[in-house]
Homo-oligomer: A and B are copies of this chain.
């Protein structure tokens, strides 16, 4: 007999794990943010072979503390300011735990109707919370789905765009060579180039449009020129990706104008708002989504700045038929009455994987625990801290700000130059007191202070500035 963990053992160990996590959050602030281990250190401390006999769960918890913890970079530390945040929260952790416990696989509506319907419903709720246009609601021809990541969202947006622009030919005949082009800003996240590679267009099909040096937003006239040049050469514009909150600097493209240009040439307009989009829970930040009513798809990641553990990318399309047309295949073993009726959504046709976890539970738990009010406060608090931080940078003449910072990302550097800026980053990161990362703006090395940790408060931002600004 296989020795499964009994329900009583599960109760006991489950409590221990819950307590471990609660203790972790009580102590995380005292840990060095950035792991200081060397390559291979962790593996060297692990047994080279798997165990022949089962071990008690205590052994896992012990090794977690002794072996793994020194190799953890603490993304939940309140002084983690690197990349973009990857928020966890109590309700998300518990919602996800419920999904693990239920263990349902929602590839089809029929394989667990609640998994599909809650997801559709919560993404409608979320669209309401962000005040997204009605084009994306499931009551019309659009709708939302949870993707694994914003990179997956960019990929499926591209696949749907190719389906539509080719009249359904690409999924049978392929994308050809030099036949379709994709357009985005130089500032856009590398996931768009990755999508071009994965979708078989190749990186050469991607036109990186120069940005306005002041706003770092893409220049619509240059987009138009690039598209017109392609059209003259017989290349079909398939997709334009607009960024709302580009990774390096937080740049915001003029979505409406880009959408109009895209549509004039039959192309799809996808909005990558992976990090910044969630800020629209607060009405004063909804201007970032100006023009989104003309977009064909939109994504933002609650798993970045909205309290919902990875993985949770919210992705909406205005025309779900294009997505399903591009991705649906119905082999005999998946046929069922509900699918045949046409009255249900089968989310397997909305992304690459077949199987899917009940991810809507955690987003549902987050929205209910915090309410619209709590979500607004979460985002507002960080934006206010970032504005304060930026004012300190601006007031110190050793430093300079390098980009607009309307939300919670501040890009800055030492006027003394690249080397000094890099040295500063290395000094503060190796202190273990905080962690931030860099980018390059207009050829200059810049530090990125990304404020947005679940537990980040004013005192953490103050301490960071203290460390950064003291010689």
Contacts and interface: CB of A to CB of B under 8 A. Distances in A.
Interface stretch (A39-47, A286-294, A383-391, A395-403): A39-47
A13 B15 CA distance: 11
Given A151-B354, A332-B248, A60 B95 contact: yes
Nearest to A67: B114
Interface stretch (A97-105, A252-260, A316-324, A461-469): A97-105
A117 B202 contact: no
Contacts of A333: 83, 247-248, 437-439, 448
B102 A72 contact: yes
Given A18-B18, A204-B172, A129 B374 contact: no
B98 A20 contact: yes
A117 to B, nearest CB: 4
A256 B1 CA distance: 34
Best-surrounded residue of A23, A43, A247 (most CB of chain B within 10 A) = A43
Nearest to A375: B2
A68 B355 contact: no
Contacts of A309: 100, 103, 357
A3 to B, nearest CB: 6
Q: Which secondary structure dominates chain A's binding surface?
A: helix
Contacts of A247: 331, 333
Given A3-B370, A52-B372, 10 more contacts: A10-B22, A13-B90, A25-B101, A51-B368, A72-B112, A83-B111, A148-B353, A150-B354, A177-B179, A190-B354
Given A103-B88, A174-B202, A22 B50 contact: no
A433 interface: no
Interface stretch (A193-201, A217-225, A261-269): A193-201
Interface string A342-375: 0110000000111111000000110111111110
A54 interface: yes
29 contacts: A3-B374, A18-B97, A20-B101, A21-B97, A35-B113, A39-B113, A50-B129, A51-B372, A54-B371, A55-B369, A57-B369, A60-B364, A68-B118, A71-B114, A72-B114, A73-B110, A88-B100, A92-B100, A100-B309, A149-B355, A150-B355, A151-B353, A155-B352, A197-B326, A301-B355, A311-B355, A333-B438, A333-B448, A335-B438
Contacts of A115: 71-72
B17 A15 contact: no
A226 interface: no
Contacts of A91: 5, 57, 60
Contacts of A332: 248, 438-440
Interface string A427-471: 000000000011110000000100000110000000000000000
Please name the 3 residue pairs, one residue from A and one from B, whose CB atoms are nearest each other, closest first: A200-B200, A5-B90, A71-B114
A171 B149 contact: no
Interface size class of A (residues with CB under 8 A): 35 or more
A376 to B, nearest CB: 9
Given A26-B7, A112-B72, A374-B54, A310 B105 contact: yes
A90 to B, nearest CB: 3
A212 interface: no
Nearest to A336: B437
A424 interface: no
A170 interface: yes
Contacts of A392: none
A368 B201 contact: no
A97 B17 contact: yes
A79 interface: no
A64 interface: yes
A75 interface: yes
A67 to B, nearest CB: 8
A113 B120 CA distance: 36
A68 B329 CA distance: 28
A368 B54 contact: yes
B377 A2 contact: yes
A420 interface: no
Given A42-B118, A151-B352, A76 B102 contact: yes
Interface in A120-154: 120-121, 125-126, 128-129, 148-152
Contacts of A343: 39-40
